[in-house]
Structure 1
Amino acid sequence: MLKRRVGPFKVNAIGLGCMSLSHAYGSPPPREGAVRLLNRALDLGYDFLDTAALYGFGANETLLGEAIGHRRSEYVLASKCGMTGVDGKRVIDGRPETLLRTIDESLTRLKTDVIDLYYLHRWDKSVPVEESVGALARMVEAGKVRAIGLSEVSAATLRKAHAVHPIAAVQNEYSPWSRNVELGVLNATRDLDAALVAFSPVARGFFAGAVHSPDQFEERDIRRGMPRFQSPNLERNLVLFKRFQAIADHAGCTPAQLSLAWVLSRGDHVVAIPGTTSMMHLEENFRPADVRPDVLRQADHLLTKAAIAGPRYPAATQAEIDTEEFLEA
């Protein structure tokens, strides 16, 4: 597996996003299955694991601490603050006093003394980003965090934050159908010697062939509210998926592997963190596909911004994030 740098760490270019083991995509797997998957990931060689205080309102961090805390030396641990569950609701709160409390709660759940990479999960627009990043810098000084990052931010916000403390990584959505980072953050992270950590690099299961109908999603599945997964957008996007799958078949890889190869080809500083609840997909994602440049170009030309039906977020969610956005036609 190709190694890439994230701040002071060298990690495999494919990491593991742990959110789906506790959160967001309907009913999570049984705990014993999640424990087996996490340990299998480490056995395979995954060495960069990503969680957050938000996921399962703390349950995901607790899962990691209990399932693989005894193997802490085997992986670089990333978590996030600034967006948590309060009284059963998701709350964005970037006040320094909140972040400084959250880190101690996360350390306890994760059964560790230090988090390797700690992100501001969302910029709380009621708090200057410099103040929130200043709180994270204090965590580094206290030895509770080794490096800090940001999530779902623009290049301008990244540069403001970087002036306060070096930013090791920006975690934004990036896949062949979500390419907003190409409007600024992809180049800004390279310029600042920061990693770009691509979440949802398989498009929330879309490029794994896991999405067939808008009626398949459970009540608690966040894709129910995402325009690209709703009619008539989904039907149009599924036509594109069939063409994408044909490219992958001809190249001798799965659509998920083609999507991951495409993401990693976008820069030497890009790392991908697909998530899964499937042992089969866990192994598939970690098996690099040798995809020729001309095949990557075919995928690139197929999945243009104009070809994708629907924005990636509903309007209310879009208002909460800071990433650059393509103008809708």
Structure 2
Amino acid sequence: MAASVKRIKLGSQGLEVSAQGLGCMGMSAFYGPAKPEQDMIALIHHAIDRGVTFLDTSDIYGPHTNEVLLGKVALKKGGVREKVELATKFGIIYKEDKMVPRGDPAYVRAACEASLKRLDVDCIDLYYQHRIDTTVPIEVTVGELKKLVEEGKIKYIGLSEASAATIRRAHAVHPITAVQLEWSLWSRDAEEEIIPTCRELGIGIVAYAPLGRGFFAAGPKLLDKLTDEDYRKGQLPRFQGENLDHNKAIFERVTEIASRKGCTPSQLALAWVHHQGDDVCPIPGTTKVENFDQNVAALSVRLSREEMAELESIASTSGGVKGERYMEDMATYKGSDTPPLSSWKSA
């Protein structure tokens, strides 16, 4: 099957990726039980054949099993390593059953070496700090990443869920190629400061959860399809009780507009992200070929300025989205500034 997805430049250092990526988390973690390996390998190869070559994983997905899955795809199943842009992340460990950010140099290096082994590759194309360790100056963390670039173990450096101040400090040590953040019709807080900072510095933007973690595909009915192990069902605030009842109105408005456009609500929501600019690459995740094909078709949905404005007014006219993006005990970009470099005493 011929590739049908355009290519874009991500950041200012030379990385080129498919205009839409594939988030692989749900294949192995957080969204219920791990999916059958052979089905996921077939899905990833289908994506690559269609031209979606930007694959996103992390060492915390599983943990570790998603990287192993991609490793089997990247090298062992058809020799597609040279066709893909492989992105993974470090920076979250489990401590007493809680996720804790970590960014000290020894950990950064050990995490990279472990990911290289699991992925079975010599070099990671884009290596993100998944969450910011607020106890370690960002200059120290990025300084170690810079060494890994110089050693040829990673090509490009990224940050995920970083504040604008953290991004600036990191970029001063070594160019940051991409910042990954949650961006969708119901998650727009990054537009205030973080996205303008990225654009000022020439940093690419990778939008995760562009479909509101599946909400814009099915609305509240999504929960009927989820297993009890899926953390959307029992933990994410926007999917709970009164919040979900309130947010239903947002989905209904998107559905109305999609009906007029002749596309699905999920395609409309994804097209809105695509229309944010050629420096933005959304990475919707899926575990089904039919959903993947529907997501790729969003690239063909064209929105006028009036339609963009109508979509952007939905959340405000519906009284705003109810519920935080994450649970209280999960680290996000909020408050992610790190201590000054002068405070760091290396071991």
TM range (shorter): over 0.9
- C-alpha separation between the residues in 1 aligned to 2:170 and 2:26? 29
Decide which moves more: 206-215 or 196-205.
206-215
In structure 2, do the counterparts of structure 1 residues 267 and 323 end up closer, same or farther at CA, with 3 Å as the change threshold? farther
Q: 2: distance between equivalents of 1:197 and 1:174?
A: 9
Decide which of 283, 293, 296 is 2:308's aligned counterpart. Answer: 296
Structure 1 residue aligned with 2:33: 27
Q: CA deviation at 1:322?
A: 2.3
Decide whether aligned partners of structure 1 residues 173 and 128 sit closer, same or farther in structure 2, where only a CA change above 3 A counts: same
**2: distance between equivalents of 1:214 and 1:309?**
17
Give the 3 Å change call, closer, same or farther, for CA 145–17 of structure 1 in structure 2.
same
Q: Structure 1 segments of 4 or more deviating over 6 A?
A: none
1:313-324 paired onto structure 2 within 5 Å: 313-317=326-330, 320-323=331-334
Separation in structure 2 between the aligned mates of residue 269 and residue 197 of structure 1, nearest angstrom:
8
CA distance in 2, matches of 1:252, 1:214: 25
Shift of 1:138: 0.9
Equivalences for residues 108-123 of structure 1 within 5 A: 108-123=117-132
Q: Do the aligned residues in 2 keep the contact of 1:264 with 1:272 (CA within 8 Å)?
A: yes
Amino acid at match of 1:296: M
Amino acid corresponding to residue 96 of structure 1 in structure 2: P
In 2, Cα distance between equivalents of 1:306 and 1:89: 33
CA deviation after TM superposition for structure 1 residue 211, in Å: 4.0
- Amino acid in the other structure paired with 1:41: A
Say how many residue pairs are matched.
323
Among candidates 41, 57, 73, match of residue 51 of structure 1? 57
Q: Which residue of 2 aligns with 1:240?
A: 250
Question: What CA distance in whole angstroms lies between the structure 1 residues aligned with 2:281 and 2:93?
Answer: 25
Amino acid at match of 1:307: G
Corresponding residue number in structure 1 for 2:10: 6
Quick one: structure 1 residues 152 and 206, their matched pair in 2 at CA, closer, same or farther if it must change by over 3 Å? Answer: same
- Aligned mates of 1:274, 1:238 — CA distance in 2: 21
- Secondary structure, in 3 states, of the residue corresponding to 1:163? helix
Percent identical residues:
41
Q: CA deviation at 1:321?
A: 2.1
Letter in 1 for 2:261: A
Give the CA RMSD over aligned residues. Answer: 1.9
Q: Return the offset for 1:214.
A: 5.2
Q: Contact 1:212 / 1:238 at 8 angstroms: preserved in 2?
A: no
Structure 1: distance between partners of 2:93 and 2:152: 23
- Please give the alpha-carbon distance, in whole angstroms, between the structure 1 residues aligned to 2:191 and 2:64: 32
- Residue 271 of structure 1 corresponds to 281
2:215·2:222 contact (CA, 8 Å) conserved in 1? no
Note closer, same or farther for the CA distance 1:201–1:88 as it changes in structure 2 (3 Å cut). same
2:197 maps to which residue?
A: 188
Which TM-score applies when normalising by structure 2?
0.88
Other structure's SS at 1:57 match: coil
Normalized against structure 1, the TM-score is what?
A: 0.93
Instruction: Say if 1:16 and 1:48, in contact at 8 Å, map to a contact too.
Output: yes
Could you tell me how far 1:90 is from its partner in structure 2? 3.4
Residue equivalent to 2:342: none
CA apart distance, 1:303: 2.1
Is residue 286 from structure 1 mapped to residue 296 from structure 2 by the alignment?
yes
1:68 aligns with 2:71: no
Partner of 1:161: 170
* Structure 1 residue matching 2:323: 3-state secondary structure: coil
Which secondary structure does the structure 2 equivalent of 1:232 belong to? helix
Mean alpha-carbon deviation: is it higher for 236-245 or for 142-151?
236-245
Residue-by-residue CA offset, 1:49-93 (whole Å, 9 max, x unaligned): 111111111100000011232210111111101114468653421
The worse-fitting range, judged by mean Cα deviation, of 299-308 and 7-16 is 299-308
List per-residue Cα deviations over 1:78-136 (Å, max 9, x = no partner).
Answer: 11011144686534211110110011110111111000100000111111111111111
Please tell me the residue identity of whatever aligns with 2:7.
K
Contact 1:214–1:231 (8 Å) recurs in 2: no
- Indicate the SS of the match to 1:315: coil
1:228 aligns with 2:243: no
Q: In the TM superposition, what is the alpha-carbon distance from 1:221 to its structure 2 partner? A: 1.6
CA distance in 2, matches of 1:40, 1:84: 32
Question: Retained in 2: the 8 A contact 1:107–1:115?
Answer: yes
Distance in 1 (CA, whole Å) between partners of 2:222 and 2:246 is 11
Closer, same or farther: CA 196–177 of 1 in aligned 2, 3 Å: same
| Secondary structure in 2 matching 1:303 | helix
Q: Which amino acid aligns with 1:47?
A: T
Judging changes above 3 Å, is the alpha-carbon distance between structure 1 residues 160 and 95 closer, same or farther for their aligned structure 2 residues?
A: same
Are 1:310 and 2:323 an aligned pair?
A: yes
Q: Which runs of 5+ in 1 are unaligned?
A: none
